Structure 1
């Protein structure tokens, strides 16, 4: 059995009570939230959780080569938020896999799939002629022994192989154990029970001034409410805790370099990542982790205090959304689908920063396929008997309309027209697509619809319409199932 070094019950109690008492830092704590926090603190008395270990490292290279270098090992201030009985990840998601093994015996103690910003960057044109380095971190429950941390990567056959190892003794002298006091305290948005029994989602704000903290909290609550009004999150809402955290900025909003807007922000979140005007990420992993460590979390969504449409999501890392955009609800859920469940983008007519090749390898993402073997399609159990594979749909008509729509969209951005005009265009495009799709005999079918994963041909999506395809309101059956699988990994049902 995996063995993890546990905190004493007293230390667990102190940590839980400190967290509960700190929830009033940004806004007054409501009676309901105070009761919830007290319940969490009380439950934590019984739960003897190990500490949280974070390994910070540098991931560098180019399109052909990559390298890793250890930076530091940190003991984070809060106990491990997860269930140590669910230490092994069997979901087969992500470009990479973290494995923590016993240095002496090779016993696997902990594993989790994830993807990286570096992996996306190395598909860009820049990576063909330049080297870059990206900060990354992996976290795991503190073991009671020295361990070997392994990073694995998928090969062309989708099999994982080891690309980096580091010997880690979390009791070594150079491990960082003393950290500054929390600069701000988390807000309890939803608390449904002790962290080890729940999925902990942390909503982080970037680009909010001190005066705008109430605005941040309101956006976090609104968007969390929308997430849990969307299936399958709706049916599993009680399996989540949600926290919010933000450091005030001097200026409102984050940088949008393509328009000459530059703002200093604690996390360095910005638009125009990899040259895509709507792609919003932070490449300052250290800043993100050093803030997030003061709240329980397994997943992070960053809200940027901007109106311009934009967002992004990296599986197992974080997702982002423009909180003030008319489509913030969609952005929050769509990007969280990438981050939380490793869902692929199903659209293919919008320009992206990545460069595609002629090969069409089978994606690891659960909602896209190269359809090499239709008789054994990865979502076969959802496909009704008699459904043709590939599945016909009005593809040519859709693409003709989409080309016109993308041309108009590009013109609006180039002319820096008001965001309201872009929102109106999005609304029109969604209405026209829905009107085209709904009369089709296969509209409700699960099949293999060509056009997905940024490619018009060679990749297929499960259903004609889905949140991962356009700005509609529902996940397809396959995406919903993929989300439920990850919820199950992090949240256990109550004892019978």
Structure 2
């Protein structure tokens, strides 16, 4: 299936960025910003939906004005008085993936998108920008947030969803906080959910570099109850009443399991420290999806659940691209072959020096023949990012290519390690 997860090839800082003290600009709270991304294949727009305040800030307190990955969308927060950039983040969205579908050529839609920002002490200007696969600006929107605005909704104070820590390595400041959310589990099925959350942790930390950097993470299981058991399967005319309203058949792809009701996800997590999200769906039907800096959503009871949840987290947390491909297919609508993709683990060779060229063994043939895969564990193998031709991956096989492969390739491991160190130096 096609996953949206467009991100940059390397870690970098923007021109003019600087290191600032978190406490100079921010309170220990979270500003939750809800937007609606709207439009069709020809025209897009961004609108502000709602502002919320959450009790604590679980995000990074370092590299505030830097981007970990470029993404296909960015948010920049500036101090209103000085116009100085004080925070940046990047993301991908289901909306931008939808823009490449036939439906987007015929109709316009709106998609919910929610982002977590540190809560400012003084008024700020926030700018949101969406980029096309060709890195052109599609839509941009600016608005001012005044921290004492009485219409900012205070959430997570009087009601907090029941939760239990699967792993607690330290406080929010020193660790990356991942929330595992229940989807399609009734009140009576929460013991099953907690067990599934434990399986998720066991699987995630069985892979490098998560295994050796386990002490950098907190994992909390959030027992959000659904009215119905299971999730919706539209092709079977099966619709369930569940916490985040997820369903298969996203963009008419049988196995693509997502939700466009992003506010429901964050409402269920209000009051619990979190940065990244894994949603477990109570079903044995195969499927899932991972959206960079948004969420991982995967089925919990399929036999391939354990490797799939790690693969999808590779998308949503690590910003990794899919390395599999379809024979005789060149999907230039996803990755134009004359543009270097943002993901660190695929390349069109337009700017290969910015990818994994630095770790290629001397004399590695480019492209690397599959017949020589044993000699070159890291190479330049054609086929990746859904395309059989013109896009290259760093290893013959990897956790981002097949469910059966037991580990991330060295390039993907490096990308994940860099991300962890960006959040928690």
Aligned length in residues: 403
Q: Which of the numbers 161, 165, 171 marks the counterpart of 1:184?
A: 161
Residue 53 and residue 389 in structure 1: after superposition, are their counterparts in 2 closer, same or farther (change >3 A)?
Answer: same
Say whether residues 1:52 and 2:30 are aligned partners.
yes
Structure that is richer in strand per residue:
2
Q: Which of the numbers 186, 189, 207 marks the counterpart of 2:184?
A: 207
Aligned to 2:382: 450
Deviation at 1:350, TM superposition (A): 8.5
Q: Is the 8 A contact 2:364 2:376 kept in 1?
A: no
Say whether residues 1:477 and 2:410 are aligned partners.
yes
C-alpha distance in structure 2 between counterparts of 1:351 and 1:309, whole Å: 25
Deviation at 1:382, TM superposition (A): 1.4
C-alpha distance in structure 1 between counterparts of 2:38 and 2:316, whole Å: 22
Residue 489 and residue 98 in structure 1: after superposition, are their counterparts in 2 closer, same or farther (change >3 A)?
Answer: same
Residue 156 and residue 133 in structure 1: after superposition, are their counterparts in 2 closer, same or farther (change >3 A)?
Answer: closer
CA root-mean-square deviation: 2.3
Deviation at 1:328, TM superposition (A): 0.5
Q: Which of the numbers 172, 176, 181 marks the counterpart of 1:195?
A: 172
Aligned to 2:46: 68
Say whether residues 1:93 and 2:70 are aligned partners.
yes
Q: Which has the larger radius of gyration?
A: 1
Say whether residues 1:364 and 2:342 are aligned partners.
yes
Q: Is the 8 A contact 1:94 1:113 kept in 2?
A: yes
Aligned to 1:151: 128
What is the TM-score normalised by the length of structure 2?
A: 0.89
Residue 188 and residue 158 in structure 1: after superposition, are their counterparts in 2 closer, same or farther (change >3 A)?
Answer: same
Cα shift readout 1:201-237 (whole Å, capped 9, x = no counterpart): 1000100111110000001011111100111100100
C-alpha distance in structure 1 between counterparts of 2:332 and 2:355, whole Å: 26
Cα shift readout 1:44-73 (whole Å, capped 9, x = no counterpart): xxxxx6111111111101112111111111
What secondary structure is seen at the aligned counterpart in 2 of 1:215? helix
C-alpha distance in structure 2 between counterparts of 1:272 and 1:252, whole Å: 18
C-alpha distance in structure 2 between counterparts of 1:377 and 1:102, whole Å: 32
Structure that is richer in helix per residue:
1
What is the TM-score normalised by the length of structure 1?
A: 0.77
Return 5+ residue gaps in structure 1 as ranges.
Answer: 8-48, 395-439
Return 5+ residue gaps in structure 2 as ranges.
Answer: 1-19
Aligned to 1:217: 194
Deviation at 1:182, TM superposition (A): 2.3
What secondary structure is seen at the aligned counterpart in 2 of 1:483? helix
Residues 1-400 of structure 1 aligned to structure 2 (within 5 Å): 1=20, 4=23, 50-76=28-54, 78-154=55-131, 158=135, 163-177=140-154, 181-182=158-159, 184-349=161-326, 356=333, 359-360=336-337, 361-373=339-351, 376=353, 378-393=355-370
Cα shift readout 1:294-316 (whole Å, capped 9, x = no counterpart): 32111001000000111100000
C-alpha distance in structure 2 between counterparts of 1:124 and 1:92, whole Å: 25
Choose between structure 1 and 2 for higher RCO, CA contacts under 8 A separated by at least 6 residues. Answer: 2
